[in-house]
Amino acid sequence: MKPVFVPPRFHIPLSRRRLLRALAVASAGFSLRGYLAEALTLSPTVTQGPYYPLAKNIPLDKDNDLVQLNDNLILAAGVVTWITGRVLDSSGNPVKGALVELWHADREGDYLYSTSAARNSACDANFAGFGQYFTGADGRYLFRTIKAGLYRGRTRHLHWGITLPGEKTRTTTQTGWNETALDLNGAVWETQNSNDNVFSTVSNSAQRSAMLLDFTAVAGATTGEVEATWDYVAGRTYTEPTYPNGGSLVVAGAPVDGPSSGNARFKLTIPAYAGYSYEIYGNPTFADLGWQALPFSLTQTGTVDRSIHTATAEGSLDVFVEQKATKGFYAVTFRVPGANTGSP
């Protein structure tokens, strides 16, 4: 059962705010059964390809409307195409705060960016070429773009990057059109889904068919606009991050041997997050004039050489201090990335 999608209907030009608002309108018409069935099919990871925008002059316009660049009056050339859906984890739960990135070729098959060049002058000057969207609590995203053009070696396709909250790199996949690819003259294109070097390598037929979208005419539109729905189903579970913006915690110090006999240290194990800076205090009362961060070492027998440490990875962080804390407990303060200048 296909999800039923009632698309937003707005007159062009569409402002950014109205496009975002359209999302709420669009979300009412989906079929729950359709979603549950589709959620069982994990989205395969396929190559990012060479055209993710890495050029230095990425425009500020990175919103979810690729058809209109900034407030240009002239829109990108091509069939206006709406795509919406949800980002789901492997259990089918919507993921809030996922970054969805979309990039693809213009109507003529030219990308706006490449890894080696600046903006590609061959690309439609009115085409944004790249967009992004942060999902809301329902996991939903929405893009307005144009039908991707064809270029030699591939059939028609879109590139997607999905980054779940807390992840540091995007997972890439692609979607295509469930149709015979025709060039701008109506001739059958040399590369179809069946012999495309990305889609044809997805061996799981359910996964492959989930990548090839059925685009249908937007009801009531007189301009040839089309729409499709596509859920990205992550092959991993996801836990919403709850780490605070900064603060403190109290940690017991475990006595351990130091560099030499009789030179004991105290080991503190801290749940650390990358980019956060940690300091240790032994007697956390403001009445104590000696209030200052205690020096520590990152190894049990190494040099005590710092009073602040910025974690480079998430996970458990061990620090070793020499000063015994009042009642055996230390106060550990942490500050958000970039908030640590001027620290002792």
Tell me the CA distances in angstroms from 98 to 83, 101, 314, one per residue in order: 16, 10, 19
Nearest distance in Å: CB 211, Fe ion = 13
49 vs 92 by CB, closer to Fe ion = 49
Q: How far is the CB of 174 from Fe ion (least distance, A)?
A: 7
**Residue recorded with tokens 């030009």:** 13
Does 136 help bind Fe ion (rule: CB under 5 A)?
no
List all residues 6 or more positions away from 34 whose beta carbon is below 8 Å from its beta carbon: 1, 2, 3, 4
DSSP 59: -
Give dist(CA 326, CA 24) in Å, integer: 55
Which structure tokens are listed for 141? 């995203």
Q: Are 101 and 179 in contact (CB under 8 A)?
A: no
Residue with smaller CB distance to Fe ion, 102 or 317: 102
Q: Which is nearer to Fe ion, 38 or 196 (CB)?
A: 196
CB of 199 to Fe ion, least distance (A): 12
Binding region for Fe ion (CB under 5 A) out of 43-51, 125-133, 209-217, 244-252: 43-51
Closest CB 231 distance from Fe ion, rounded Å: 21
Interactions with Fe ion, residue window 44-83 (CB under 5 A):
49
Q: What is the DSSP letter of 34?
A: H
Closest separation between CB of residue 130 and Fe ion, Å? 12
Residues 87-126 that bind Fe ion (CB under 5 A): none
Q: β-pairing, 140-146 with 80-88?
A: antiparallel
Q: How many residues bind Fe ion (CB under 5 A)?
A: 1
Q: Are 176 and 213 in contact (CB under 8 A)?
A: yes
Q: Which stretch binds Fe ion (CB under 5 A): 42-50, 137-145, 202-210, 288-296?
A: 42-50
Order of strands, sheet of 265-272, starting from the edge strand that comes earlier in the sequence: 254-256, 265-272, 315-321, 296-297
* Minimum separation from the CB atom of position 49 to Fe ion (A): 5
What whole-number distance in Å separates Cα of residue 249 and Cα of residue 232? Answer: 38
Which residue of the chain is nearest Fe ion when measured via CB? Answer: 49
Instruction: Considering the complex, state which of residue 155 and residue 297 has its C-beta at the smaller distance from Fe ion.
Output: 155
* Contact criterion met (CB below 8 Å) for 226 and 147: yes
Residues 267-326 that bind Fe ion (CB under 5 A): none
Please say which residue, 13 or 49, places its beta carbon nearer to Fe ion: 49
Q: For Fe ion, give the closer residue by CB, 202 or 321.
A: 202
Q: Which parts of this chain interact with Fe ion (CB under 5 A)?
A: 49
